[in-house]
Amino acid sequence: MELVAGCYEQVLFGFAARPAESWTVVPDFTHHAHSASLSAVAVNNRYVVTGSRDETIQIYDMKKKIEHGALLQHNGTITCLEFYGTAHLLSGAEDGLICIWNTKRWECLKSIKAHKGQVTSLSIHPSGKLALSVGTDKTLRTWNLVEGRSAFIKNLKQNAHIIKWSPDGERYVTVITNKVDIYKLDTASVTGTITTEKRISSLRFITDSIIAIAGDDEIIKFYSCDSQKCLCEFKAHENRIKDIYSFEREGQHVIVTASSDGYIKMWNLDLNKIKDVPSLLCEVNTKARLTCLAVWLDRASEMKENSDKAATSPRANEDEKSSIVRRKKLCQTGKSDKTAKRKRKITPEKQKLEAPLPKKKKKQNSSA
């Protein structure tokens, strides 16, 4: 298991997290592939991808621990990245584009002019057939990913900067400054609203009906989507929290938080005692101003997760078969094949990820 986090200082950090009697976090690598601050990070079972203000998406092969290449389709800061399964990646940027990538060959299958302004956030439905996006044109847009086209446009009163599907796909939420609107999929109408004192910087579904919210302060709050009531709140950091991630491993529910104070922290959350403050498992000080966070799980835990999902979701096999896009329907990318190939850059010589915070070393010591 690897905690990966980006920061303003243009560095991607990797920390190996190991569960034992007490969790330990060990520095694993640092990487300096970007020429500007990192703005987004996403993971699947093999790759970590990072987006930056330098307008590039960098790819890291976590199995081989090497830099895999860079994607150069966007003209503007990369604002959001999200994988669907092992085969596809969606990216959004300030240029208003959403790009759909095949992760086998890292080809851009389709480039969609999604918003008149910037794309601020996107989220893929658990089935892989729909996606939602919000942008600075005050719209919420629904995308049919099977057809690769716009399905519905909803006008918002203000610009939303976060959108998320629930794990079961039955509801979704939008965040506008300090307000969370909760929508039901079947009616596309707001069923409830949560308002916080501070601007919301990150939101994560913990279960189908419980969300964790972090604002521009040190507090994390858990809310019920059904009652819109705060179930628990606690001080997690000494500075504003920039991102939240969550995962389940062997029955233990873990929350991971990253803050501008430089710390990444792991918390144990007991869902049966949701009103109790989560207990701190471990923490690490990166000594950087963190901006984004994800957790890369090893193959064993990934297979367990998938088997658990298959057992609880009758749609799982159908969803995997449907895929996120049918390539034969997405042959019209709006650009020639030559242009697409020119935009996609894979580094000719794949580079190993560096040891954490390395000093100047001689070549013979580089493998240490």
Task: Name the strand (E) or helix (H) holding 246.
Answer: strand 241-249
Helices in the chain by DSSP H: which ranges?
Answer: 299-312, 316-322, 337-343
Please report where in the chains the tokens 């580094």 appear, as a residue: 347
Q: What is the DSSP string of 315-363?
A: THHHHHHH-S--GGGG---SS-HHHHHHHEE--SS--BPBPSSPPP--G
Say what the pLDDT of residue 305 is. 46
C-beta of residue 142 within 8 angstroms of C-beta of residue 152: yes
**pLDDT of 27 strictly over 80:** yes
Q: Which pTM was predicted? A: 0.81
Say what the pLDDT of residue 149 is. 86
Listed ranges 20-24, 187-191, 292-296; the one with the highest mean pLDDT:
292-296
Say what the pLDDT of residue 249 is. 83
C-beta of residue 38 within 8 angstroms of C-beta of residue 50: yes
Q: What is the DSSP string of 279-307?
A: EEEEEEE--S-EEEEEEEPPHHHHHHHHH
Nearest to 174 by CA among 229, 122, 247, 233: 122
Instruction: Quote the mean pLDDT of the chain.
Output: 84
Say what the pLDDT of residue 356 is. 56
| Token pair belonging to 152 | 């519905």
- Alpha-carbon span 68 to 229, nearest angstrom: 44
Start-to-end CA span in the chain (Å): 21
- Over range 337-353, report the average pLDDT: 43
Q: How many alpha carbons lie under 13 Å from residue 5 in its C-beta half-sphere?
A: 32
Tens of pLDDT, residue by residue over 152-201, are 999 999 999 999 999 999 999 999 999 999 999 988 889 999 999 999 99
Sign of CA dihedral 155, 133, 261, 200: positive
**pLDDT of 355 strictly over 70:** no
Using a pLDDT cut of 70, give the percent of the chain over it. 81
366: left (phi over 0), alpha (psi -120 to 50) or beta: alpha
Can you name the residues that pair with 338 across neighbouring β-strands?
none
C-beta of residue 160 within 8 angstroms of C-beta of residue 140: yes
